[in-house]
Amino acid sequence: MEPSSNDRPGWIEISVQSDPCTHEAVSHFLMETLGCDGVALDSRCESVLKAYLPSGGSPESLELRIEAFLAGLADCFPDTDPPGYRLGCIQDQDWRTAWRKHFRPERVTPGLLVVPAWEPVPRGLLGRVLRMDPGPAFGTGQHATTRMCLQALEDLAPKGPWSLLDVGTGSGILAMYGVLLGASPVEGLDVDEEALRWAEWNLELNDLSGAVRLSTDSIDTCRAPYTVVTANLILDVIQDLLPRLTAAVRLRGSLVLSGLLREQVPLVTPALVRAGFGSARELRQEEWACVVAERVHSHVKREGNGS
C-alpha cells in the first residue's frame, strides 16, 4: 500500500550556484559525500545544480559541510565567481519526482530529440529520438559539452560502415546516438560501474540492448582502431588519456574531445598534431569548447626530428 502523504518524509532541496566548470566536482560532493541519489541542472539556469536529501538531519551540520566544501571549491577555481547555495524544504515527495521538473523533452541537435523516460514520445516527430533516464550519471543532452558531442557525431557519421568508441560513457547517450546514426561496433567505457548499470538501462529503454558493448576495461584492451572516438571528460583526464585516445583512432578517423573550457583548447591541440591529426575544428557553446580532429597521418611525430 502506498503511504499517505502524512507518512512521507519531507526532503531538503540543495541548490548550488557555481561556474559550470566546477559542476563535476560539485556533483561528486553532493552524491558521494552528502549521499544524494542524483543531481540535475536547473532548467532555468545552467549554473545551478539541484539535489535532494531526506529531511531529519541537522540543517546546521549540513550547512557547515556545504560551506566548507564551497570554500575549498573557490580556492581550487580562483578565476570563477564565488559559488553559493540555498536550502529549501519539499514535502510529500522524494527527489525522484522533484528533480524531474528540470528534465524536459529537448531537441539537443537538429536531428535528435531527447525525451525523459517517464514522458511519452511526442507524435509526428522528424528526426531521431532517445529516451533517457540518467540516474546518477551525467548525460541527458542538457549540458553544452554533451550537446556539442552529439552534434559532432551527427556531423561526422559517414554513409557507409563505421565504428565508435565512447570513453567515459556515463548515461550512454553518445554511444546510443552513434548506434542510431549507423555505427557498429560501438563500445562504451566508464570506470564507474554504477554509471554503466544506468547506461544498460537506457539501452533497454531504447530497444538497443546488445548494440553497445559496455565495460570498465582500459582503452588498451578495446578493438581499435575506430572511425570515431569520443571523450567528454575534463582537461586533466583528457591529457592523461590522450596518447591512448589518439592511438585508438583509425587513419582518416576522428577524435571528439569535450568537457574543455575555451581557453583550455590550446593545451591539447599541439599533442593532437604530434599524434598525426590535422587542424582541429572547434564547436563552441557558452564557455565550453568541443575539439574535433581528423587523423591524417598514421605515424606519430617525434619532438626535434622534423618528422
User: Quick one: DSSP state of residue 134?
Assistant: -
**pLDDT (tens digit, 9 = 90+) per residue, 274-298?**
999 999 999 999 888 999 999 999 8
Domain limits, CATH 3.30.70.120, in the chain: 11-101
User: Above pLDDT 70, what percent of the chain?
Assistant: 86
Task: State the pLDDT at residue 140.
Answer: 65
Q: Please tell me the CATH code under which domain 103-294 is placed.
A: 3.40.50.150
Angle of helix 173-180 relative to helix 144-156, nearest 10 degrees, comes to 20
Which of these CATH numbers, 3.30.70.360, 3.30.70.120, 3.30.310.10, 3.40.640.10, describes 11-101?
A: 3.30.70.120
Phi, psi of 5 (to 5 degrees): -60, -30
Averaged over 210-216, what is the pLDDT? 96
User: Quick one: DSSP state of residue 139?
Assistant: -
Task: State the pLDDT at residue 246.
Answer: 97
Whether 306 shows a pLDDT value over 50: the answer reads no
Q: Which tops the pLDDT comparison, 126 or 200?
A: 200
- Residue 119's region, left for phi above 0, alpha for psi from -120 to 50, else beta, is beta
Whether 7 shows a pLDDT value over 50: the answer reads no
pTM: 0.72
**pLDDT (tens digit, 9 = 90+) per residue, 139-183?**
666 788 899 999 999 999 998 999 999 999 988 999 999 999 999
Domain limits, CATH 3.40.50.150, in the chain: 103-294
Average per-residue pLDDT in the chain? Answer: 85
Q: What is the full DSSP assignment across 235-252?
A: HHHHHHHHHHHHHTEEEE
Collapsed DSSP state (helix, strand, coil) of residue 113: strand
Identify the burial level of 303 via C-beta atoms within 10 angstroms of its C-beta, where 0-12 means exposed, 13-18 middle and 19 or more buried.
Answer: exposed
